[in-house]
A = this chain, B = another copy of it.
Amino acid sequence: MALSDYFIRFLERRDKLSDEERARLADITTERKSFASGDVIVAREVVAERSCLMLSGMSARIHVLPRSKDRVITALHVPGDFVDLHGFVLAGLAHTVIAMGPAEVEFVSHDQLRELTNEWPHLTRLLWMSTTIDAAVHRQWLVAAASLRSSAHLAHLLCELYTRLNSVGAAQDHRYILPLLQRDLANILGYSPIHINRAVRDLRERGLIRWSGTEVQILDWPGITALAQFRPDYLDLEQLNR
């Protein structure tokens, strides 16, 4: 199949594409696939031969710990994200990508990316940009981990996910579907599942959120962003010439 519009919109939100560039992107062929919750989308391997884009649902990069059998989640991906594009230039991925809830993705072969990057420098810089935005999110997670306490830390994640989902049109009205268990949130934020539960209760009691099942609703956006000290600058949502 042809490359979906999602990623093209992700790029166009941040820079201008020429007609030729848009046509060149549309020439990319992809393989689409659906996954059930918990399925492995990308296995940890020595050298990857393709990378994947989210079409719907969410996925997570998980790092399995040597001893404790537990795992840490270092990234969450929403529709439009080029999940493991960094695998195109890296020797090996130290992580696995799994579906959080039902998810659809499309795979692009690295051969095609190599051809594209050999001839389209501006598009190459935009692909590169998408991996550096990922890194900016990593840094913000580090800042949040170092500076926020449990409730505020959880609140920061909720704010980020709403902002990212909203920016690709996958959420409105401060509501969204969050297909994560409290155990998963514990693996993201580095707390015990019980403590995540305490943080959820705290946010509820402050009147900031409503949360049942997989549906999250933010009741007080100014309040929760203030608690989380959330500033969306790092998501790089500006349009520029790159």
Q: Which residues of A contact B (CB under 8 A)?
A: 14, 47, 61, 63, 65-68, 70, 72, 74-75, 86, 88-92, 94-95, 117-119, 121, 124-126, 128-129, 131-136, 138-143, 145-147, 187-190, 229, 231, 233-234, 236, 238, 240, 242
Contacts of A233 in B (CB 8 A): 92, 94
| CB-CB under 8 A for A89 and B143, given A94-B136, A118-B121, A124-B117 | no
Could you show 29 A-B contacts with beta carbons less than 8 Å apart? A63-B139, A63-B143, A68-B147, A70-B147, A72-B142, A74-B139, A86-B132, A88-B125, A89-B129, A89-B132, A92-B236, A94-B136, A94-B139, A94-B233, A95-B139, A117-B121, A119-B121, A121-B121, A124-B124, A131-B131, A131-B135, A132-B135, A134-B135, A135-B138, A138-B138, A138-B139, A145-B145, A146-B189, A146-B190
Contacts of A124 in B (CB 8 A): 117, 121, 124-125, 128
Contacts of A126 in B (CB 8 A): 89
Q: How far is the CA of A70 from the CA of B143 in the complex (A)?
A: 11
Q: How far is the CA of A16 from the CA of B140 in the complex (A)?
A: 34
Q: How far is the CA of A140 from the CA of B89 in the complex (A)?
A: 18
Partner of A128 from the list B95, B128, B133 (CB cut-off 8 Å) is: B128
Contact indicator B142/A240 (Cβ below 8 Å): no
Partner of A91 from the list B118, B125, B240 (CB cut-off 8 Å) is: B240
Partner of A75 from the list B86, B139, B145 (CB cut-off 8 Å) is: B139
- Among A14, A68, A134, A141, chain B packs the most CB atoms within 10 A around the CB of A141
Contact indicator A125/B132 (Cβ below 8 Å): no
| CB-CB under 8 A for A89 and B136, given A131-B131, A147-B190 | no
Q: How far is the CA of A231 from the CA of B92 in the complex (A)?
A: 13
Contact indicator A94/B234 (Cβ below 8 Å): yes
Contact indicator B190/A145 (Cβ below 8 Å): yes
Contacts of A140 in B (CB 8 A): 94
Contact indicator A89/B128 (Cβ below 8 Å): yes
Contact indicator A47/B240 (Cβ below 8 Å): yes
